[in-house]
Copies of this chain bind each other. A is one copy, B any other.
Amino acid sequence: MSLTNASPEQAARAAKVSSRKLAALPTAARNAALDAVHDALAGARADILAANSRDVEFAKQSAASGELSLSILKRLDLSRKGKFDDMLQGIRDVRALEDPVGRVDLRTELDDGLILQRQTCPIGVLLIIFEARPEVIANIASLAIKSANAAILKGGKESTESFKIISTIISKALANTDVPNDSIQLVTTRDAVDPLLELSEYIDLVIPRGSNELVRHCQRKAHMPVLGHADGLCSIYIHADADEDMAVNVVVDSKTDYPAACNAVETLLVHENVLKTVLPKVASALISKGVALRCDQASRAALSKHLPQDRALLLHDVSDADFSTEFLDLVLAIRTITPDGNKPTSAVDAAIEHINTHGSHHTDAIITASKEVADRFCNGVDSACKFWNCSTRFCDGMRFGFGTEVGISTNKVHARGPVGLEGLMIHEYRLSGMGQGAAMYGSGGRQYKHKKLPLL
């Protein structure tokens, strides 16, 4: 691992060459490197937090002058409760996972002595670009090492101090392991992003971690595939039969647990039958937590009647644009769902249509007592994650049990939803024979057996 001032092309070429060596390292060598990284970071907690506090201090000044959003400030702070420990535990979790390399998932006897095998292998070279979250360096480095992928890490200016110290510590820790020196490249050169995004000869996949703008920039400029999501516009639909307490728990957690996260809820859809029953309880709990509610006409009318006067005064009108906005803050847009005619499914269908039209295909939830309605919702919504009676905040690689995650993907190919180790692998086919040619087969010739064989 090297913290270089190498040019983007030098870094990428070096990573590509190292990637073939890294791909051949045995499991034990990669796990030993993860242990070294974990122990080194754990031992340097105080130094890392001190460096991070300098980043946070600087960011606070930028936030005060309006140059930086509060949500970025929140993501930057490694001293937030549990964040450092989560980072360390993430490395341990990844180490504890099964080796994802070389797993055979298909074996077929094409003919006598002609055996096809499909097995997993690393993708090659990953480019990880991140802005504020400094713990991403440790996450990504450990996922890269475990999955035998080389990685180029490019940090943002907001986390410069944290990035420098964490990467120096990781670099020293890896120097005594078998992981090739160039297989994890740390690029600090300014303006390196655009040149890196053109190096499809060396870089196989880009994973941007940061603002919507960063992700969109990568999607627009990259000559190689980009994994991730630009927006996290998640919705919750409260159906007519929703349990009151459940609705309160789920919506409050989805909105307030970490409003700056991509899996926080931004739009609440409410069946008209529960505007006066469930919604006031939900709204009251949200207002208590400081959430600003932006309501459509029907929901505002109902809440104005059924909330105490002082709370009703805090309501706002929603605009059309609010339903396409990722607030990343304590703001929630509310829309009433009115069934169209007598068709029993028309309310859930209207919610599905709203979500497919305005949402970002990330995570959407329904609160209903009916499995049938929940299934219809899940079948109809075109999103990576469909949740029934639980918080959108569960959309997360660690919570899903993947160890840690490289990000959450709304892509329709390769990996979708929280992406852990599996998303960093691709497969290869190996065929072994005894001199066979394809001309032997077909009409009048030999026939393929295509006999499924047990996986070894």
Binding site for B on A (CB under 8 A): 20, 23-24, 81-82, 85, 108, 110, 114, 116, 118, 123-124, 204-205, 225, 227, 243, 245-246, 249-250, 252-254, 256-257, 356, 374, 378-380, 382-391, 393-396, 399-401, 411-418, 426-443, 448, 450
Contact = CB atoms under 8 A, between A and B. Distances in A.
A204 B409 CA distance: 14
Contact of A399 (B110, B396, B426): B110
14 contacts: A108-B401, A114-B390, A252-B437, A385-B428, A390-B432, A391-B433, A391-B438, A396-B438, A399-B438, A399-B448, A413-B413, A413-B426, A416-B426, A416-B427
Given A108-B400, A401-B108, A413-B225, A390 B435 contact: yes
A23 to B, nearest CB: 8
A387 B433 contact: yes
Contacts of A391: 433, 436-438
A401 B441 CA distance: 13
Given A110-B401, A204-B413, A257-B439, A389 B432 contact: yes
Contacts of A253: 436-440
Given A110-B400, A379-B24, A205 B413 contact: yes
B124 A385 contact: no
A387 B391 CA distance: 48
A383 B411 CA distance: 24
Given A85-B443, A391-B433, A417-B427, 5 more contacts: A81-B443, A124-B412, A243-B435, A250-B435, A411-B426
A417 B413 contact: no
A388 B396 CA distance: 42
A413 B378 contact: no
A443 B88 CA distance: 14
Contacts of A428: 383-386, 416-417
A108 B401 CA distance: 8
Contact of A431 (B379, B390, B430, B434): B390
Contact of A433 (B390, B416, B437): B390
A239 to B, nearest CB: 14
Most buried by B among A382, A414, A438: A438
B436 A249 contact: yes
A416 B413 CA distance: 12
B400 A442 contact: no
Contacts of A440: 253
Contact of A437 (B116, B257, B374, B378): B257
Contacts of A374: 432
B412 A413 contact: no
B441 A384 contact: no
A388 B245 CA distance: 63
Contacts of A442: 82
A378 B253 CA distance: 50
A390 B430 CA distance: 11
A301 B382 CA distance: 64
Contacts of A246: 434-435
Given A257-B439, A400-B110, A439-B253, A413 B123 contact: yes
Contacts of A124: 382, 412
Nearest to A250: B435
Q: Can you list the 8 inter-chain pairs with the closest CB atoms, starting with the nearest?
A: A253-B437, A390-B433, A246-B435, A393-B438, A401-B450, A414-B414, A204-B412, A413-B414
